[in-house]
Amino acid sequence: MKLSIPELTTVRARHPEAVAEAAARRARRPLIGDSGRLMIVAADHPARGALGIGDRRLAMADRADLLERLCVALSRPGVDGVLATADILEDLLLLGALENKVVMGSMNRGGLAGASFEMDDRFTGHRAEDIERLGFDAGKLLVRIDYDDPGSLTTLEASARAVDAMAARRLPVFVEPFISRRVDGRVRNDLSAEAVTRSIAIASGLGGTSAYTWLKLPVTENVDDMDDVLRTSTLPVVLLGGEVGDQEAAYERWGKALRLPTVQGMVVGRSLLYPAEGSVETAVDTAVGLL
């Protein structure tokens, strides 16, 4: 039974079991499809309180609007699936938007944007057992490392145990590492070649096995450095998009990095769901074309 967006609250209030029922009957697919590439749309930002797009501080706070954009993106040819937190994935399940799609659960959202404890990124989202129970296909975790903040050690240890828990269930886990630091009180990610190289080396060694670990990486400040940077690990890589100002320049950078041998695809969110110019359809189709 597919619902409309206005029906979601009624079903949640009166028939909460509908979520588990929708998950149980969802048609599944392999992680890597016939194209050999992976295109995932990301929407796990709201659970960290990161709701802004450009100068619109609460752009992602309208859940009906976000769901509409996600449904459009997921309907486009070449889009393999979605990364999100439980609330969003469950809405999409009830809407029938996740059939034959890769579903990735977002695992640690405790490092709230702008909080004093931002670097102590606790696992407040999906656990490995939740991803397994719901029949989802993979998990994703964020590892920001600030050498001056002891909270990063808590995140590293918890991330290693999450990698172990996912591997025990033979579930892929996408690790998104950054070397970060505070600038004027705000956490900034270092996208220099050296910093991204160091983050890859650290992330690749998390846990008792890396057999099910993927890396979710940014494109370096100088895209030409990516060839050397990606020599740091043999783990499969997907590129992350993040918020971009110049859409055309972002497409060009992604296109160059996608040609590198360990890069298997992309996980992109705000820049496709809320493009600076044009429609969601056009932004998504252009990104798919890069693959």
Q: Tell me the mean pLDDT in the region 127-147.
A: 98
Q: Tell me the mean pLDDT in the region 187-211.
A: 97
Please tell me the number of Cα atoms within 13 Å of 179 on its side-chain side. Answer: 15
What's the mean pLDDT when you consider all of the chain?
94
pLDDT of residue 143: 97
pLDDT band at residue 241 under the 50/70/90 scheme: confident
pLDDT tens, residue by residue, 43-66: 999 999 999 988 889 999 999 999
pLDDT of residue 11: 96
pLDDT of residue 220: 95
State the pTM of this model. 0.95
246 pLDDT higher than 80: no
Q: Tell me the mean pLDDT in the region 205-230.
A: 97
Domain boundaries, the chain: 5-290
Distance CA 258, CA 228 (A): 14
Q: Tell me the mean pLDDT in the region 166-176.
A: 98
* SS3 per-residue string spanning 50-97: CCCECCECCHHHCHHHHHHHHHHHHHCCCCCEEEECHHHHHHHHHHCC
User: What is the token pair recorded at 246?
Assistant: 């110049």
Fill in the amino acid letter for 101.
K
Distance CA 110, CA 99 (A): 29
Q: Tell me the mean pLDDT in the region 199-205.
A: 98
Under DSSP, the state recorded for 205 is: T
**CATH top-level class for 5-290?**
alpha beta
Percentage of residues of the chain with pLDDT beyond 70? 98
pLDDT of residue 245: 65
Q: Tell me the mean pLDDT in the region 163-190.
A: 96
Distance CA 37, CA 258 (A): 10
Distance CA 236, CA 99 (A): 25
